[in-house]
Amino acid sequence: MDPRHLNIDKRLTGICVYCGNRADTRDHVPSRVLLDEPMPANVPVVDSCESCNEGFSLDEEYVACFLECVLRGSTDPEQLKREKVRRILTDKPPLRARIESNRRGCEDGTTVWIPEEARVRNVVLKLGRGHAAFELTLPQLEEPSNVNAIPLSLMSKPQLDIFERAGTGEMRGWPEIGSRGFLRACGAPPYEKQAGPWVVVQDGTYRYSVDQHGGVLVRMVLWEYLAAEVGWE
């Protein structure tokens, strides 16, 4: 089976994978702002309308900046590692101030950062829809049954084991025949060298998995810090 010519229901093409309207552009999943330079060669790309493509950008910027500030313990651009985030926070002082305002000192001397949960959810759901559509050729336009995001470090060991397993070791049905997920599950070219359930977009920066069994479950790990999950029953 040639992965360049997937067995796709043509009725599911040409529509925005986020809202179902006519697609007039293409969108990277994940967004470039969540990845480091140099960019990976084969970032997944899905059909999108221009409104959705542009509509997520500010929330994606926020999530990228928030995560980097948490990881570095500072909103000072000079203290940050990722060049993209340094540029954004230098050019957008109000965004830096907004993130800084949600930094809290604790009595024990530690610091916690309070995310804007609605913005994080918006980005996680967008990524989940994009990965489901790309891997399974099945757009998930309905409201999901669950959307979760939590730092890996806050998971219990049983929770982490289940999350990292991403469906392996359990009885699973095959993904949609002819989809990318089917080719991965079969170990067909060009996926014959892939090991485990995770698709690594950029090592140490972004990985995801898509599991189809009585529903669709997408898991993502951003910067080996934030674990996210979107499911449709």
pTM of the model: 0.86
- pLDDT at 9 exceeding the cut of 60: no
Torsion of CA 154, 118, 210, 158, to 10 degrees: 20
Residues 185-192, mean pLDDT to the nearest whole number: 62
Quote the pLDDT of residue 2: 47
Quote the pLDDT of residue 210: 92
* Residue 34: DSSP 8-state: G
CA–CA dist 113, 135 (Å, integer): 33
> Angle CA(192)–CA(193)–CA(199) in degrees, nearest 5?
100
Quick one: tokens of 222? 């951003």
Quote the pLDDT of residue 20: 95
CA–CA dist 100, 13 (Å, integer): 42
- Per-residue model confidence as pLDDT tens digits over 113-157: 999 999 999 999 999 999 999 988 889 999 999 999 999 999 999
> How does the average pLDDT of the chain come out, rounded?
88
